[in-house]
Amino acid sequence: MKKNANARPFLKWAGGKGQLLPTIIENLPDKLKTGNIKTYIEPFVGGGAVFFELSKLYDFENVILNDFNVELIMVYQTIRDDVERLIMRLHELEEEFLPKEKDARQEMFYNIREEFNEEKKSIDYSKVSSEIIRHSANLIFLNKTCFNGLYRLNSKGGYNVPFGDYKNPTICDEVNLRSVNLVLQGVTLVHGDFEEVTQFANNETFIYMDPPYRPLSGTSSFNSYQKAPFNDESQRRLANWFKALDEEKNAHLMLSNSDPKNTDLNDDFFDDLYKPFNIKRVSASRAINSKGSKRGSISELLITNYVETE
């Protein structure tokens, strides 16, 4: 991967780290800042805000991006391997959608959503094809025109976010898509459980983990990126993996998560799980909430297995 100052996230993604980037950059390991980290890994890449920021600052010999969401990795792969055909299809969708009145736009949105969910049942995700390009374009279209830019699945795996009614959404940002294409050249894309990337880690590796956040209450957080929820047992398994990477691979590790103490000062869930490591509480704002009054500043956790000294 080569440095690219222009690439930025091409999707809006719940839990995106755009607002926390200065804090994350400030807390990077010294070994990365001095050029002694050769490999970068993200097990939960999502919208890729941290990856794109690091791509402006550092040249890595190896980059591995993983996500459990197969559609998400599919879009990254499509942009990497066949961005021009994707741009052509997005232009077609944009030119069809933007001139329409609200009711016609809404009808088109739900038709595309239905098509997207039907495609999911039979599509071959293993290679970029005409079907994959169409499916990727549909996902980007839905992301740009749905409510709040969410990606949410129901229990049957169907995308179910409603229409967003934006006045003039940018469906095809071809300049950024081409920049993303350039920065993804040579990047290894993996779809699966976070532990799938263990094989790539060593003592010259920096791993940034941004898992689905633990809900602060029964309704306050969003982590329906996939059919199976990322629950407390998943969080415990991730913490055990964090410890194993520290002990067995000597990798440099950073993890973000919600701070349970925002709602219960006695909730030591993460303090107990990551007790041997460095836990910082940093200020963040809620990026996605249906009520504007709930988009205030809260505390989040930044956990590392090293101490940043500079």
Q: What are the structural domains of the chain?
A: 18-68+192-217+230-304 (3.40.50.150), 71-173 (1.10.1020.10)
Angle, to 10 degrees, between the axis of helix 102-120 and the axis of helix 130-145?
140
Pairwise CA distance, residues 46 & 73, whole Å: 9
**152-194 residue pLDDT tens:** 888 888 999 999 989 999 999 999 999 999 999 999 999 999 9
Reported confidence tier of residue 218, pLDDT bands at 50, 70, 90? low
Pairwise CA distance, residues 76 & 183, whole Å: 11
Q: Residue 275 — φ and ψ, nearest 5°?
A: -55, -40
Burial code (b: 16+ CB inside 10 Å, e: under 16) for 68-79 equals: bbebbbbbbbbb
Reported confidence tier of residue 298, pLDDT bands at 50, 70, 90? confident
Reported confidence tier of residue 221, pLDDT bands at 50, 70, 90? very low
Strand partners, 163: 146
294/207: higher pLDDT: 207
Instruction: Report the 10 Å Cβ neighbour count for 290.
Output: 10
Q: Which two tokens stand for residue 145?
A: 């025109």
- Mean pLDDT rounded to a whole number for the chain: 90
Pairwise CA distance, residues 42 & 61, whole Å: 15
Q: Which of 45-59, 67-81, 150-164, 183-197 shows the lowest per-residue confidence on average (mean pLDDT)?
A: 150-164
Pairwise CA distance, residues 113 & 164, whole Å: 13
**Averaged pLDDT for residues 191-202:** 96
**What's the pLDDT score for residue 156?**
85
**What's the pLDDT score for residue 219?**
46
CB 41 within 8 A of CB 106: no
Q: How many CA atoms lie within 13 A of 101 on its CB side?
A: 1
14/272: higher pLDDT: 272
188: left (phi over 0), alpha (psi -120 to 50) or beta: beta
Q: Which two tokens stand for residue 110?
A: 């739900």
Distances (CA, A) of 230 to 62, 207, 237, 290: 28, 19, 10, 21
pTM comes to 0.90
Strand partners, 128: none
CB-count exposure of residue 254 (10 Å: 0-12, 13-18, 19+) = buried
CB-count exposure of residue 302 (10 Å: 0-12, 13-18, 19+) = buried
**What's the pLDDT score for residue 284?**
81
**243-293 residue pLDDT tens:** 999 999 999 999 999 999 998 999 999 999 999 999 999 988 654 444 444
67: left (phi over 0), alpha (psi -120 to 50) or beta: beta
**109-146 residue pLDDT tens:** 999 999 999 999 999 998 899 999 999 999 999 999 99
Residues 6+ apart with CB under 8 A from 139: 11, 71, 74, 75, 116, 151
**What's the pLDDT score for residue 226?**
54
**Residue 18: is its pLDDT beyond 90?**
no
CB-count exposure of residue 179 (10 Å: 0-12, 13-18, 19+) = buried
